[in-house]
Amino acid sequence: MIRTIAFSTLLLVGCTFAQSTWFGGIAILGIAPDISILVLIWVSYRNGLVEGSVSGFISGFAEDFLSSSPLGFHAFIKTAIAIVTAILHGSFYIDKVLLPVILGFVGTIAKALIAWALFLLFGENIHVYSIFSIGLWIEAAYNGVLAPFVFLLLGLLSSILETEHRRR
Amino acid sequence: MSDQQHKVAGRGRRAVVPILLATSLLCITISTRSIEGIPESIGLTIFGFFQRGFSVVGGFIADTVSSIAELRKLRINYHELSTKLEKYTNIERGLADLREENRRLKEQLGFSNDTTYQRIAARIIAKDPDNLYSTLTINKGIKEGIRKNMPVIAFQDGLEGLVGRVVEVGRGTSKIVPLYDMKSYIAARLASGTRTEGLVGGQGSPDEPLIMRFVKKRTKDEVLFGDIVVTTGYESIYPSEIVIGRVKKVRVLEYQTSIDIELDPILDFSRIEYVFVVRLEERIEDTGGSGSVGGSR
């Protein structure tokens, strides 16, 4: 379990660094995809509650240091998304295209909803997506489109990203 | 392991989740009240180091690929530049005479006290990993003399424009909040005509116009499309007369006592690579040089 958490966290933090440094070039109308959310969803769905939430929490904290968000903002969002995904763990079979697209899209919407809930609690320091702005929908669609490819790549790394008893 | 032990271990594992959520909320509570900002600074120092590493690797790969294509262009450019060099050598002779004449005239007109601010050159190495926030990260930090709340400017197409201000400083990297961020407010005025004042704020995206609010309604007919808007210098953060943007549209709402002016930022933020952090406390003599310190890499 610790090995899985360590590798997942490293991958998630790596994705965060990549998003901040490299993904400007693939942004659509200034909106870059959130690959770390896709990785988190995959890890949480495959491994369950503890692995997903701990990896999400640590990588979210790292993201908070790189962002101007309040410390704990991304940590909370990622932990919460990991919990929700882990609840679905084993409920359905993840095919190659359709379900990853849905998970990527819905995961982004969930992120927006959790940010909105935090905004209600903590006020103006929390930035939220506007449902009327095109940014949220571009990001959700972008994540949805990329999800099948990301899930496919993660499947190749399942030996290090999945706990042993889950693989069996 | 017995069933009892399994149950206890399971309960322990589940207990981790509420602890993580509670820790996150506690951090947000502390962070939003801005008690110190020390944890953020330490975190930025540690993670900024790795972020720089990613930036360097990305830059190396991009540079290598593009340099292959560049080689062909370089040969053509070399020949063109040789011709130009010859031309400019002649111009330079004339320029030296003009410089000397300008210096003498300035002396006579009493402009010798003309000053400018010292600037620290830096390169943008990263942007905010999340689309919700709009931070820019630069490759200079405490070691290079950068401090919180220093203004940041950039030059583009021969124009000097405001980028934003420093909000967090690590040892080797710093975070900038650009003027289009939703948290950014800058006291501004029209550069010419009525010198009408207002407060410029962003909408969170460089593609959306800046909004100049609290502009007196009676000035609505005097604001023209394309007018330049500059900083007032009233705050201690930004120096005066730094260009922010150009008037794009005037919004007049009958029920409001003031008008809103939409501005196009003077800088194209998608193209900015290098910026200058301004040290307001240190003024240097205007000797015709750039006045910048530090390398860009």
pLDDT of residue A167: 54
- A67/B135 CB distance under 8 A: yes
pLDDT category, B166, cuts 50, 70, 90? very high
Q: A55 CB near a chain B CB, below 8 Å?
A: no
> pLDDT (tens digit, 9 = 90+) per residue, A35-52?
999 999 999 988 888 888
Nearest CA in chain B to A18: B54
- For B201, the token pair is 């704020």
pLDDT of residue A153: 92
Place of tokens 């934003």: B164
- For A157, the token pair is 């790394």
Mutate which of B25, B28, B181 to test chain A, going by most A C-beta atoms within 10 A? B28
* Listed range (A137-151, B20-34, B57-71, B119-133) with the worst mean pLDDT: B20-34
Q: A84 CB near a chain B CB, below 8 Å?
A: no
How remote is the C-alpha of A99 from its chain's centroid?
15
- A67/B17 CB distance under 8 A: no
Does the pLDDT value for residue B28 go beyond 90?
no
Mutate which of B1, B6, B24 to test chain A, going by most A C-beta atoms within 10 A? B24
Give DSSP secondary structure letters for chain B. Answer: --HHHHHHHHHHHHHHHHHHHHHHHHHHHHHHTTS--HHHHHHHHHHHHHHHHHHHHHHHHHHHHHHHHHHHHHHHHHHHHHHHHHHHHHHHHHHHHHHHHHHHHHHHHTGGG-EEEEEEEEEEEEE-SSTT---EEES--GGGT--TT-EEEEEETTEEEEEEEEEEE-SS-EEEEETTSTT-EEEEEESSTT--EEEEE--S-TTSPEEEEEEEGGGTTT--TT-EEEE---SSSSPTT-EEEEEEEEE--TT-SEEEEEEEESS-TTT--EEEEEEEEEEEE--SS--EES---
Mutate which of A11, A15, A21 to test chain B, going by most B C-beta atoms within 10 A? A21
Mean pLDDT for the stretch of residues B272-286 = 72
* CB-defined contacts A:B, below 8 A: 155
CA distance A89 to A42: 10
pLDDT category, A102, cuts 50, 70, 90? very high
CA distance A55 to A13: 9
Higher pLDDT, B109 or A132: A132
Mutate which of B131, B173, B177, B208 to test chain A, going by most A C-beta atoms within 10 A? B131
Higher pLDDT, B189 or A91: B189
> pLDDT (tens digit, 9 = 90+) per residue, A106-122?
999 999 999 999 988 88
- B131/A50 CB distance under 8 A: no
pLDDT of residue A42: 92
Residue B123 pairs in a beta bridge with B274
CA distance B221 to B58: 50
- A76/B130 CB distance under 8 A: no
pLDDT of residue B294: 41
* Listed range (A121-135, B37-51, B99-113, B231-245) with the worst mean pLDDT: B99-113
Nearest alpha-carbon partner for B155 in B259, B45, B252, B276 = B276
Does the pLDDT value for residue B152 go beyond 90?
yes
Place of tokens 């949805």: A144
Q: Amino acid identity, residue B205?
A: S
- B126/A49 CB distance under 8 A: no
Q: What percent of chain A has pLDDT over 70?
A: 97
pLDDT category, A57, cuts 50, 70, 90? very high
SS3 of B7-61: the string is HHHHHHHHHHHHHHHHHHHHHHHHHHCCCCCHHHHHHHHHHHHHHHHHHHHHHHH
Query: Cβ contacts (< 8 Å) between A57 and chain B: which residues?
Result: 20, 23-24
- B24/A129 CB distance under 8 A: no
CA distance B288 to A101: 58
> pLDDT (tens digit, 9 = 90+) per residue, A20-30?
888 877 888 88
pLDDT of residue B288: 42
Nearest CA in chain B to A60: B24
Place of tokens 């290098």: B274
Does the pLDDT value for residue B110 go beyond 90?
no
pLDDT category, B114, cuts 50, 70, 90? very low
pLDDT of residue A14: 92
Burial B37-46 (b: 16+ CB within 10 A, else e): eebbbebbbe
- Return left, alpha or beta for B26; rule: phi > 0 is left, psi -120 to 50 is alpha, else beta: alpha
Q: A67 CB near a chain B CB, below 8 Å?
A: yes
pLDDT category, A159, cuts 50, 70, 90? confident
Q: With a cut of 0.85, is the ipTM above it?
A: no
DSSP class of residue A157 equals T
Mean pLDDT for the stretch of residues B275-283 = 77
Does the pLDDT value for residue B253 go beyond 70?
yes
Query: Cβ contacts (< 8 Å) between A51 and chain B: which residues?
Result: none
> pLDDT (tens digit, 9 = 90+) per residue, B256-275?
778 888 899 988 888 888 89
Q: Which of B14-23, B155-164, B170-179, B200-209 has the highest mean pLDDT?
A: B170-179
Q: B175 CB near a chain A CB, below 8 Å?
A: yes
Mean pLDDT for the stretch of residues B79-99 = 81
CB A126 within 8 A of CB A70: yes
Nearest alpha-carbon partner for B137 in B129, B261, B241 = B129
Regarding beta strands B292-293 and B115-127, do their DSSP bridges make them parallel or antiparallel, or are they unpaired?
Answer: parallel
CA distance B210 to B290: 29
Write the residue in B58, B131, B167 that is nearest to A21 by C-beta.
B58
Interior CA angle at A65 toward A62 and A67, to 5°? 110
Q: B177 CB near a chain A CB, below 8 Å?
A: yes
What are the residue ranges spanned by the domains of chain A?
2-167
Q: Which CATH class is domain A2-167?
A: mainly alpha
- A50/B127 CB distance under 8 A: no
Does the pLDDT value for residue B289 go beyond 70?
no
- B205/A30 CB distance under 8 A: yes
Interior CA angle at B162 toward B158 and B164, to 5°? 145
Does the pLDDT value for residue A142 go beyond 70?
yes
Supply the mean pLDDT for chain B. 79
pLDDT of residue A114: 93
* Listed range (A9-13, B10-14, B120-124, B261-265) with the worst mean pLDDT: B10-14
What are the residue ranges spanned by the domains of chain B?
7-33, 38-111
CA distance B144 to B147: 9
Nearest CA in chain B to A59: B47
pLDDT of residue A104: 93
Residue B96 has a CB neighbour count (10 Å cut-off) of 10
CA distance B267 to B163: 8
pLDDT category, B100, cuts 50, 70, 90? confident
Does the pLDDT value for residue B176 go beyond 90?
yes
- What does residue B64 show for φ and ψ, rounded to 5 degrees? -60, -45
> pLDDT (tens digit, 9 = 90+) per residue, B115-126?
467 888 898 999
Mean pLDDT for the stretch of residues B56-76 = 81
CB A64 within 8 A of CB A72: yes
Mean pLDDT for the stretch of residues A63-72 = 88
Mean pLDDT for the stretch of residues B45-64 = 80
Q: A16 CB near a chain B CB, below 8 Å?
A: yes
Helix (H, G, I), strand (E, B) or coil at A132: coil
Does the pLDDT value for residue B6 go beyond 70?
no
